[in-house]
């Protein structure tokens, strides 16, 4: 079910106020395109929406918490009712390390799982119901190369991205017979607000506009896995294949996220 970019007339993107979500919104924006964008920062989201409108797109921008199941379901349904959705990109996500004390660790871990897993479910499940009913549509879930093998620097982040990856891979097989496409996006380090706070070296750090181009091309071709850059992909594959004791030792010496 390969598609040209122009086949997507209504695109919904979460986490559109910065990073990959912002870049995708700006790149998809154009005449005859409807964008439904959500984010957590009103000022940044409004700025993204303004640029998209200047490029000719019709834009609905909403400040929403993706962990709010009822609010997300209502928004997705409203946007579907306005103009049928063609592509839904579940992009919203957060990251953090364990913090300095157990209280921090518990609170951060629960919040990361809520945003990165529940937030994806709250975005995809209502849209998936519409797509299945009309036997048409495409879903993209943003995972990460961090989901290929757990490391000590950001255990909750890696675990949530692994969950998104495996769920998306399963959905792709389950929904293919209903003509609904599913792509799992697994980026490495991409320039964004999330990576700007990292104080450790980030190999193969990629400009966000280049990441957006790779993602859009992969979605248009309905690729099951859109993983990049390839040297980082090779590294995480190698680490995942190592004996557990060796992979665990390597994981313990990698830098931790603040």
Q: Which residues are catalytic?
A: 157
Helix (H) or strand (E) holding 252: helix 244-253
Give CA angle at 90 (88, 92), nearest 5°.
140
User: Which phi and psi angles does 135 have, rounded to 5°?
Assistant: 55, 50
What is the rounded CA–CA span in Å between residue 7 and residue 168? 22
Contacts of residue 20, Cβ cutoff 8 Å, sequence gap at least 6: 91, 142, 187, 190, 192, 208, 211, 212, 215
Could you write out the DSSP letters of every residue in 133-150?
HHT-EEEEEE--GGGSS-
Is the preceding peptide bond at 197 cis, omega within 30 degrees of 0? no
Whether the CB-CB separation of 87 and 138 falls below 8 Å is answered with yes
């Amino acid at each position: 079910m390969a598609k040209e970019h122009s086949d997507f007339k209504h695109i919904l993107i979460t986490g559109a106020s910065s990073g990959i979500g912002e870049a995708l919104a700006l790149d998809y924006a154009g005449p005859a395109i409807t964008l439904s964008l959500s984010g957590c920062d009103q000022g940044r989201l409004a700025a993204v929406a303004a640029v998209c409108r200047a490029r000719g797109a019709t834009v609905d921008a909403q400040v929403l918490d993706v962990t709010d199941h009822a609010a997300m379901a209502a928004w997705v349904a409203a946007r579907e009712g306005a103009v049928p959705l063609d592509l839904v990109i579940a992009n919203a996500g957060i990251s953090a390390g364990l913090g300095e004390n157990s209280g921090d660790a518990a609170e951060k871990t629960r919040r990361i799982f809520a945003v990165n897993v529940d937030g994806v479910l709250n975005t995809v499940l209502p849209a998936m119901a519409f797509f299945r009913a009309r036997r048409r549509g495409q879903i993209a879930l943003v995972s990460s190369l961090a989901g290929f093998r757990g490391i000590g620097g950001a255990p909750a982040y890696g675990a949530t991205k692994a969950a998104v990856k495996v769920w998306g891979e399963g959905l792709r097989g389950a929904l293919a017979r209903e003509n609904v496409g599913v792509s799992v996006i697994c980026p490495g380090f991409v320039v964004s607000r999330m990576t700007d706070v990292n104080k450790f070296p980030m190999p193969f750090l990629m400009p966000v506009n280049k990441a957006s181009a790779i993602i859009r091309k992969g979605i248009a071709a309905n690729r099951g896995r859109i993983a990049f850059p390839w040297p980082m992909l090779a590294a995480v594959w190698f680490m995942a294949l190592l004996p557990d004791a060796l992979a665990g030792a390597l994981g313990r010496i990698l830098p931790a996220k603040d």
